[in-house]
Amino acid sequence: MPNGTIQSGYALVAGLSNTGKSSLLNALTKSQISPVALQAASTRMPITAICTPGDAQICFVDTPPLDGNFDLSIIDWVDVIVLVVDIKTLDKDLTNPIIQNFLRRVNKKPVVLALSKSDFVKPEHRSAYVYRAIYTNKFTDIIPVTPPLDHGIKDLLHSVLVNIPKRIRLFPRDITTLNSQRFLISEQIRTQLYSLLPLEIAGETAVQIEETSQRDGRLYIRANLIVSRASTKGIIIGRKGQNLEHINKLSSQTIGRFTGEKCRLDLWVKVREAWTTNKADLLEFGYVC
């Protein structure tokens, strides 16, 4: 590239709740950086992952759902938008006022439409969904994808890459994320809560990482689960500690897949009354007020 420039920039991954944004980010970057859960709206803060196709670099940004705590100002500093829509609800989603407002706010930035969960539609019928999307908005590209099967991922990556501008390299070659390891580990743990606890309890439980270190060839993590009511503590711990043990086991497995290291997780449950309504507590635990 002339003058030492390369294709280097940001691609925003956006969509409604439970459309598969986190799975798509992981497939695009060949990582397990963004935790995946069946529970909708599990992503609460932007998670970044940098991939380097050839000499280029793309920083993908996984965001909270558009119908959740989404900050529209993030649109201003990214280069490309990847709008993720569930192929099964394509017509309803593309006429959703939230999606329409988002597309108006995007203005003239390139928007690649990723039709997620495309394996629910027979291959010979997918082109019909693409044509239907063409007549609703002026998308830069439309690509059916199924992240768990790696279908459409190369095509989507190529479509994003051709719309990334040439500039001086934004990130060092060896960097893979702009998030801290502690934040990413806390998200891996927090996501597991939605799989194992009632929704209202999982939503009112914060994860606080107290320590990460190397001990006996393993990644040692000490973390607190912060609940807002004393009555919730016993529910999370469970009879003879069985619930907490289960949370610990699943969280350790997901952290191990994410870090590539054997993990020893030391989990504690603590009470901080009404933290969900206290601005200082929300900021301490990494929530946007």
Residue 145 CA from chain centroid, whole number: 16
Round to whole Å and give the CA distance between 247 and 210: 17
Q: Residue 106 pLDDT > 80, yes or no? A: yes
225 DSSP 8-state letter? E
At 173, the amino acid letter reads R
What whole-number distance in Å separates Cα of residue 117 and Cα of residue 142? Answer: 14
Q: Cα–Cα distance between 207 and 209 in angstroms, integer?
A: 7
Residues 136-164 have a mean pLDDT of 94
pLDDT grade for 223, boundaries at 50, 70 and 90: very high
Residue 284 is predicted with a pLDDT of 86
pLDDT at 41: 47
Asked if 181 and 164 touch (Cβ cutoff 8 Å), the reply is no
H or E element, residue 215: strand 205-215
Q: Model confidence at 165, in pLDDT bands (50, 70, 90)?
A: very high
Q: Rounded mean pLDDT of the chain?
A: 91
Residue carrying the six token digits 């940001």: 10
Q: List, for residues 237-285, the tens digit of each pLDDT value.
A: 999 999 999 999 999 999 998 899 999 999 999 999 999 999 998 888 8
Tell me what percent of the residues of the chain surpass a pLDDT of 70: 96
Structural domains in the chain, sorted by start: 2-168 (3.40.50.300), 181-284 (3.30.300.20)
Asked if residue 70 has pLDDT above 90, the reply is no
Span 163-174, mean pLDDT?
A: 92
**In the prediction, which pLDDT does 135 show?**
83
CA-wise closest residue to 141 among 171, 119, 165, 161: 161
Coil, helix or strand at residue 59: strand
